[in-house]
Amino acid sequence: MRKKVKNSTEDRIFYAAVNIIIAAVLVVVLWPLIFIVSSSFSSKEAVLAGRVLLLPVDFSLEGYRAVFKTGEVLTGYRNTILYTLFGTTLNVLLTLIAAYPLSRRDMPYRRGFMFVFTFTMIFSGGMIPTYIIVSELHLLNSPLAMILPTALSVYNLIITRTFIENSIPGELLEAAVIDGCDDFGYFFKILLPLSAPVIAVITLYYAVAHWNSYFNAFLYITDSRLYPLQLVLRNILIANQMDSAMTTDFDSMTSKQGLADLLKYSLIVVSSLPVLLMYPFVQKHFVNGVMIGAVKG
Amino acid sequence: MRAKTGIKSGRSRSFAEIRKHWQLFVFLILPLAYIIIFAYGPMAGLQIAFKDFDASKGIFGSPWIGLDHFQKFIKSYQFGRIIRNTFVISLYSLAARFPVPIILAICINVMRCRFYKKAAQMIVYIPHFISVVVLVGMINQFFNPFVGLYGNIYKMIYSSNAPDIMTNPSSFLHMYVWSGIWQNMGWDSIIYLAALSSVSPDLHEAAQVDGASRLRRVFSIDFPAIVPTIVILLILNIGQVMNLGFEKIYLMQNNINLRLSEVISTYVYKTGISSSGGNYSYATAIGLFNSVVNFVLVVTVNKIASKCNNTSLW
């Protein structure tokens, strides 16, 4: 079709302008990211002298060696993996068993139940009362505090419900009922296998949320052995609480400062790596989630 | 859109019908338990805003004292400041942040080279997945005048050390807002791209035959197609104006910028939990004040929108 209509000069200028704008956006997005990665692979002298602009200067792995020598980083890593694993499993299970009945048009009091969930999106008890509840349930300083208070996201529930309503034909249910399938059987035998796309979406959403969250740990966990990675990161990156043992190998003050900065760059890379590595392969699912959510508006 | 089901409406739902679907209720038990304990539990806990909370007596046993905490908050010297900060940060944030994804989506939609387009989309989404801790850590390193990229570039151009903008309190506001734009412009553009992709190609062809340039078609076809989405998202965002998240602001706070960066949520945390012998009741009152204002905002904005536009969130 396009061949018929010739591009005018005006169009060509416009397309070029758009390409240039996007190129500029990409530079703005990518440069800081590349800078962090490059710095982490540079020597501490180069970082300290501010010689890194885009590519690594004096390639070295000193920063990574320091990161992996740091016990708290490793513990944090292990804790975060566990919280993400167990937390996400619970999240997905709860979301699915909530979304199924709420998606059934013949569910008695469906709208009432739905309101019970959606109301919590526009009004909440807030930080302090939630803290009191968590502490009265004796969850403070327990790994469960990392999992239970965020066991279900109503937003993901809505995505899942919308998906089931729109993508799974109602005739399936009728056919299943005729074949003598009850509500449990329909859920396990028919609905779950057909919901794979939305399960992928919410699993990823929940997993990334667990991996990246520091707030719950910050409020509820004071025992440093239970710290997730993000809280360890916060203490090192932002509060500058660096264990002196990490940098004792180096005598001079400047050398220490250089290693401290190098360590921060390496730490940023190490902590973000799992999410960013899997990102290209699952990008499609993340975008799908937004699309499903958008149907509801 | 809701299809009529075969069920008799009204109060005639019989017990038999619930019994027929008892299995569906079984599915709901755990999710309901969760939402009741962790969402409605804290709502019941809000009553301590009107009480003098004593941990040994519990939420229900503590004595009522009325509106004392609210009066104390409104009269406190912090009140004007944190309300103003909250408004300034979120309004600036909304005004600067809102148009960017729209422009980005329109640009991406215009692109013709499929590979470049896909690559661009893939890349602009990346920052969304960076955690807030890492983002703030990145800001600190990035704008470090001695070892950060900002300092390095400055040194290259002016061959002198860069001024330390981190110690300038007003830079907090701009860094907060623009780092947010950097992080989320790509992700926020997805929803507009979805709306744009549903535009019928026939419209474009017809316009092309009539001699409309691509730029002309952006204004006459693409933009009108996303106006409903823009309106809905604007409503959503205006409703959230008082709901400024805790996480990023708290991490970006320091003694230098506190005057401009103290907002309701961080103040609630500091009075309630972090200060020794935290004042739960007082902090809850501040939080409740915020929640109520928020709630009223969301509901009003949505009412107005559904009146004049027929686009409602529920």
Q: Tell if the CB–CB gap between A108 and B18 is shorter than 8 Å.
A: yes
What lies within 8 Å, CB to CB, of B290 at 6+ separation is: A126, B242, B243, B264, B265, B268
Q: Tell if the CB–CB gap between B287 and A133 is shorter than 8 Å.
A: no
Q: Rounded to the nearest 5 degrees, what angle is found at the Cα of B241, between the Cα atoms of A128 and B89?
A: 90
Using CA atoms, how far apart are residues A66 and A236, in angstroms rounded to an integer?
Answer: 13
Place of tokens 């009553």: B47
pLDDT reading at A240 higher than 80: no
- Give me the long-range contacts of A17-23 (CB less than 8 A, separation at least 24): A18/B107, A18/B110, A18/B111, A19/B111, A19/B113, A19/B116, A21/B107, A22/B107, A22/B108, A22/B111, A22/B116, A22/B120
pLDDT value at position B96?
Answer: 93
User: Is the Cβ–Cβ distance between B300 and B217 less than 8 Å?
Assistant: no
Q: What pTM did the predictor assign?
A: 0.88
Mean pLDDT, residues A251-274: 80
User: Is the Cβ–Cβ distance between A181 and A117 less than 8 Å?
Assistant: no
pLDDT reading at A1 higher than 50: no
Domain ranges of chain A: 2-68+243-296, 71-225
pLDDT reading at A147 higher than 90: yes
* CA closest to B123 among chain A residues: A26
pLDDT value at position A252?
Answer: 58
Q: Tell if the CB–CB gap between B284 and A208 is shorter than 8 Å.
A: no
Q: State the average pLDDT for chain A.
A: 86
What lies within 8 Å, CB to CB, of A31 at 6+ separation is: A54, B149
* CA closest to B299 among chain A residues: A122
> Fold for domain A71-225?
MetI-like fold (1.10.3720)
Domain ranges of chain B: 59-309
Place of tokens 């939420």: B59
Name chain A contacts of B153, Cβ cutoff 8 Å: 53
Tokens found for residue A266: 């390496």
Mean pLDDT, residues A284-292: 79
* pLDDT one-digit tens code per residue, A15-35: 999 999 999 999 999 999 998
Residue type, A133: I
pLDDT reading at A201 higher than 80: yes
Identity of the residue in A14, A94, A275 whose CB atom sits nearest the CB atom of B214: A14
Identity of the residue in A47, A97, A238 whose CB atom sits nearest the CB atom of B137: A238
Alpha-carbon distance values, B60 to A26, A40, A133 (Å) = 55, 54, 12
User: Is the Cβ–Cβ distance between A263 and A246 less than 8 Å?
Assistant: yes
For B180, other C-beta atoms within 10 Å of its C-beta total 16
Question: Does the predicted interface ipTM exceed a cut of 0.90?
Answer: no
CA A176 to chain centre: 37
Place of tokens 């944090």: A76
Chain A (254-283) residues lying within 8 Å, Cβ to Cβ, of chain B: 261, 264-265, 267-268, 271-272, 275-276, 279-280, 283
Chain A (202-241) residues lying within 8 Å, Cβ to Cβ, of chain B: 208, 211-215, 219, 230, 233-234, 237-238
Using CA atoms, how far apart are residues B35 and B40, in angstroms rounded to an integer?
Answer: 6
Matching CATH number, B59-309, of 3.20.20.80, 3.30.70.100, 1.10.3720.10, 3.40.718.10: 1.10.3720.10
Using CA atoms, how far apart are residues A45 and A58, in angstroms rounded to an integer?
Answer: 9
Tokens found for residue A256: 């220490």
Residue type, B21: H
pLDDT reading at A297 higher than 50: no
For A254, other C-beta atoms within 10 Å of its C-beta total 12
Tokens found for residue A277: 């590595």
User: Is the Cβ–Cβ distance between A293 and A202 less than 8 Å?
Assistant: no
* pLDDT one-digit tens code per residue, A99-119: 999 998 888 888 999 999 999
- Percent of chain A scoring above 90 in pLDDT: 41
User: Is the Cβ–Cβ distance between A146 and A88 less than 8 Å?
Assistant: no
Using CA atoms, how far apart are residues A254 and A292, in angstroms rounded to an integer?
Answer: 53
Name chain A contacts of B205, Cβ cutoff 8 Å: 1
Q: A106 CB near a chain B CB, below 8 Å? A: yes
Mean pLDDT, residues A45-55: 79
Per-run averaged pLDDT (10 residues), chain B, 314 residues: 46 71 90 95 91 83 87 89 91 93 94 90 91 91 81 82 80 92 92 88 88 86 88 82 86 88 90 79 91 88 73 51
Q: Tell if the CB–CB gap between B141 and A265 is shorter than 8 Å.
A: yes
Q: A185 CB near a chain B CB, below 8 Å? A: no
